[in-house]
């Protein structure tokens, strides 16, 4: 009887081989991601937007802060999945949220369009902008009525 670790390894290798041999979006469009490491909120430069290896299917941003290494943002090409499918595993590892107010944190953000990892936390910025737009619109409507 095969052990579960051997079965997992075989399944992982099979999945990686299938992804590499199937026509991924990167092969047809040529995915490019920002690839740089910064120790401040500083953005990558235009020269840091480089083509990804053909096996990559997404851009990844790792944001980390800890007492030993300080603050680091690493942008790179990646191969999915970005998060764990199991919600309990994500919560147990502290990956279910990105609380940047804590002393130590590790966050992972993925996207699948060329250059999408160039701006930090675009999704949160978009949500804030939509909230502010809604608030301003409702305030103006109340004044007009």
Which domain covers residue 70, as residue numbers? 32-117
Q: Is residue 38 part of a domain?
A: yes
Q: What does the alpha-carbon distance between residue 33 and residue 64 come to, in Å, rounded to a whole number?
A: 19
Answer yes or no: is 112 within a domain: yes
Give, in order, the Cα–Cα distances in Å from 20 to each of 14, 25, 28, 43, 125: 10, 11, 13, 30, 34
Q: Over the stretch 52-106, which tens digit does the pLDDT of each residue have?
A: 999 999 999 999 999 888 999 999 999 977 766 666 666 666 555 677 888 888 8
Q: Is residue 1 part of a domain?
A: no
37 lies in a domain?
yes
Strand order in the sheet with 58-66: 36-38, 70-78, 58-66, 105-111
pTM: 0.58
Whether residue 82 lies inside any domain: the answer is yes
Q: How many structural domains comprise the chain? A: 1
The most confident of 5-14, 38-47, 86-95, by mean pLDDT:
38-47
CATH of the domain at 104: 2.10.60.10
Q: Determine contact, residues 49/76, Cβ cutoff 8 Å.
A: no
Q: Is 54 a domain residue?
A: yes
Residue 8 maps to a domain: no
């Amino acid at each position: 009887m095969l052990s579960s670790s051997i079965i997992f390894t075989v399944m992982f290798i099979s999945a990686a081989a299938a992804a590499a041999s199937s026509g991924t979006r990167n092969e047809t469009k040529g995915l490019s991601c920002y690839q740089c490491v910064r120790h401040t909120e500083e953005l990558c430069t235009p020269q840091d937007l480089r083509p990804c290896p053909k096996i990559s299917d997404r851009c990844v941003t790792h944001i980390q802060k800890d007492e030993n290494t300080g603050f680091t943002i690493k942008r790179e090409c990646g191969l999915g999945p970005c998060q764990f499918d199991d919600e309990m595993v994500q919560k147990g590892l502290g990956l279910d949220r990105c609380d940047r107010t804590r002393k130590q944190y590790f966050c992972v953000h993925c996207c699948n369009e060329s250059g999408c990892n160039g701006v930090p936390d675009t999704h949160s910025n978009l949500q804030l902008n939509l909230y502010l737009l809604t608030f301003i619109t409702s305030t103006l409507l109340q004044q007009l009525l």
